Every structure is written in C-alpha cells, then in structure tokens.
Amino acid sequence: MSKALPRLGAGLGYRTALHHDIVANADRIDFLEVISDQYLHAPPEKLLRLLELSDTFPLVPHGVGLSVGTAAPLDDDYLDRLAQFVEATKGYWFSDHLSFTKVPEVDVEQLTPVWFTEESLDAVCRNVRQLKTRIPDPPFLLENVTYYFPVPGNDLSEGAFLTRVLEETDTGLLIDVNNVWINSVNLGFDPYEFLDSIPLERAVQMHIAGGVEMAGMIVDTHSSPVNEHVWQLAAHVVQRAPVKAILLEWDSDWPEFAELLDHLDRARDLLPDRVEAGS
C-alpha cells in the first residue's frame, strides 16, 4: 500500500486560529491535516478558504465522526458528503478512528473505544468495507485511540483486534504514538511490545501530540509539548515502518508558533531520506 504513496514529511493539524501563522510559515510546513467533519456541512466560502490552501500544501482529510465501531451500517449521507470532501481536497489518503461516536439516532460526541470481541470485529470490518466500496480511492487509514479503563468482556487484545481489522479489510494504519504511550501509562503495559504486535508495515502516517496529567492519569489533550517518551516511540516506529508523514496535533493552549515549527523540524528529522520543508 504505502510504496505507491508520496512522502509528505512533517505536517500540522489545520486549525482556523493558526491560519495566518500557517500561511506565513509555509516554507516550514510540509502538509496540513484537516478535520473532515468540520467541512461536510460547511458553507461554500469556508470550504473555498480551505481549498485555497491546497495551492501551497497537500491536504490530508482526517475524520472524527465516521464511527466504524457502530453496530449499524454507516450513514449513506455521511459517506456521500465525505466522498465529495475527499475528492475536493485531492488528498493522497484519508483517515478516521477505530472507535464509535454514535449509536442509532444518538451521537455520543466522543471517540469511544470499541469492544475487542468477535462480534465487534465483524461490525467494524463490515463498516470499513462499506466505506471502501463507496470511496475506493484514495487509501483509507484507521487510527488507534486512547481509552482510560480496561474495556470489560473482551475476547481479544487491542493489538490482535487492530491487526485483524487491518488485515481482513486490507486497510492502512495511522499510528498515533501518543495514544499508545498514554494507554501504556494509564493501563500498565509495555508500549514497545504493543507496537511490535501490530502490522507496522501498514503504517502510512503517524500522529504525535502532548497530553497532561489529571486525576492520576495522562489525558490526551493535544495541548502541550510532545513528551520525550513519545518521541522515542516515534523513532522506534519510523525505523520499522514505511511512514510517509508525521503529523503534529496541537489543538489548544498554543505556544509561540516557533515552538510548533521546532516540533515539525524534529519530526522531519526522524524520517529517512529527509523531506525538505515545502518540497
């Protein structure tokens, strides 16, 4: 899968509050990841403003509302709008999370972990196949998520579940190493053993981010510098996987923009055959 995809380098999650800084520093940002759901019902002028950025940056659509873990089939209207958005951005790939965000007629408004059971596996695989039938191109990636307590009643480990979903649907991986580290701290497992248990050869993109400690656990807030343990995990993955792009997620409590650019420089240096910014 990844061999035919371009190497994008180090990118930033597009947030409207950062628009002017992003444009002013285009030579140091290789690509932008955009939240698909913010544009599926957007007025034309909002979409046009985003698409104008594609003259300067490759755009990578990333969703939060697909809900592949929902037991019911995916919503056809959502898929139609997503297909139109993915086509408009001309993204080399698009992605969403291995989670559920809704049950029939109810939106739970968060990335809720799925049960690691055979029944859940069947539902996820069915939904991913439905998505890929509706949007066969470009490639689709699934991202691992955080969860803050052991999900009861599982038949499989997270690693085994993720592996089977990716392999049984021939899907790519968006590996979020911050999520891996947070889960390992909160739930008490070895993050390197987890990474070695999943098909890293399917990894196309990586997320890095920072979290904060709350009530005795690490919370995935995307609001602080990337932890050194996360940088180490990122290096571990890049040495073992054909990662084409590393994305910094920083959603609030922004520092001086220069700090975000420093993070991108460090991320870019992790990639083999380093991609120069703006190339």
> How far is 114 from 147, CA to CA, in rounded Å?
10
Model confidence pLDDT, tens digit, residues 104-142: 665 656 677 888 999 999 999 999 999 999 999 999 999
Residue 153, pLDDT score? 86
Tell me if 122 is assigned to some domain: yes
| Contact criterion met (CB below 8 Å) for 233 and 180 | yes
pLDDT score for 279: 38
Q: What is the DSSP pairing of strand 172-176 with strand 203-208? A: parallel
Q: How much is the pLDDT for 278?
A: 41
Residue 13: what pLDDT? Answer: 97
Distance CA 278, CA 271 (A): 15
Q: Is 245 exposed, middle or buried (0-12, 13-18, 19+ CB in 10 A)?
A: buried
Residues in the chain with pLDDT < 50? 274-279
Whether 11 contacts 247, CB under 8 Å: yes
Domain count, the chain: 1
- The answer as to whether 276 is a domain residue is no
H or E stretch at 235: helix 228-238
pLDDT at 91: 96
Contact 275, 9 (CB under 8 A): yes
Query: Does residue 278 lie in a domain region?
Result: no
pLDDT at res. 277: 44
Residue 277: inside a domain, yes or no?
no
User: Does the residue 130 lie in any domain?
Assistant: yes
152, part of any domain: yes
Give pLDDT, residue 107: 64
**Domain that includes residue 195, residue range:** 2-270
**Mean pLDDT, the chain, integer:** 93
Quick check: bond before 150 cis, omega within 30? no
**pLDDT at position 4:** 86
Longest dimension (CA), the chain: 50
Among 203, 269, 247, 231, which residue's Cα sits nearest to residue 61? 247
Supply 265's token pair: 């420089």
Confidence (pLDDT) at 1 = 61
Contact between residue 30 and residue 8 where contact means Cβ atoms under 8 Å apart: yes
Q: What is the distance, to the nearest Å, from the Cα of residue 4 to the centroid of all Cα atoms in its chain?
A: 20
Q: What is the CATH number of the domain that holds 93?
A: 3.20.20.150
In a domain, 279, yes or no: no
Q: Answer for the pair 102, 48: CB distance below 8 angstroms, yes or no.
A: no
Inside any domain, residue 210: yes
Q: How far apart are CA 220 and CA 146, in angstroms?
A: 7
